[in-house]
Structure 1
């Protein structure tokens, strides 16, 4: 829903009981912060209770083997870092949610590792785990088995989220001139991100009262703009509503 609180759908919390199904997902085994080989991981988790993968948002948690498993991932609407004691800003939550929604569900080692680096950057802002210059963040991306392309991709995700993360707003440009019964008119729509950029590839479901619409839905083009055509039933106003039900914001 537009304007609603952004839900971050892939935070993982320590469960009260072990779950044997919790295992390392796509990504790379790396040394932990003390240098012990193959005891940490940059990437996603295969976690019981969800269809897909999840991401750890707390670097203080042990891995699933040492912790005896994690519980099911659950949505959160706020996050406080145990590493810094600081609560994430709404902006950082929205940007993390954007990347998780758009790129998080993957079987690619490279993509999962990039998303993991982004999650820590936004939810552990100001910590050693945060890019661009956190010591542990750079260590995790710098191990010999982690391709350099992971850091490049993570940087791209950070820049993309800065441009296209929500909250979002649907904008409907009023029709120029009077409406004429039986005469087609064009309505221009777009969806803007929190930074004011128009978002491409967004499907908008239309609800028109007092006119016939050529299509029940339209999708914003590469420039982030969509056009709907309506035919008024009479010379008057029409009620025109548009809703974007699917946006990268969970």
Structure 2
């Protein structure tokens, strides 16, 4: 799948193409346009012009703009999951997570607003198909995360915690994409920290997750994202904090 340049917004010369190839070019043109503006702001005529075809030809492949939007987003969803899945195994769990967060931000920077709209359901009238597609993407991301943690059957507490973290990641990434007020590297680190905090919080109430957390820590070498987080946490601890923690652990 190739990204098209700014010049593809102008009409391309008509070319005779096989039906599958024409459909793919229309989808690529739509992806390019949806990446810079919302679905409502992009017209069928613009997409047809960018794909080098006619409006009538476009309608032979797609019933309406909504169907084309979903086809484009499905193509992008497949691409995103493939990129996340390609993150090399072998590193520590926290390094794999950090690498996947980077891949996620790379993807959003590349494909932008259109995919953000899908995940946040900010289309004018979200269809059941759009809701299902966004849910399928999240489910596949959850599964990749469970595989990284080597968890076959995640307990309910971990599923809930991961869903909450994923929602936070999506919201934070979309907000950053729109205003970019904070350095991207800082946002990525904060998302890693949020994941670690979620995992520790769940482990505090679920013995099985606590055992898994102990296993994760055994996999983390010095210098890994998890190790840097622990060091930063310890550096932030003051004697006053220790005193307050001791007070809270007292009788009562």
* Shared fold (TM-score, shorter chain, > 0.5): no
TM-score w.r.t. length of structure 2: 0.27
Looking at secondary structure, tell me which structure has more helix per residue: 2
Query: Normalization by structure 1: what TM-score?
Result: 0.27
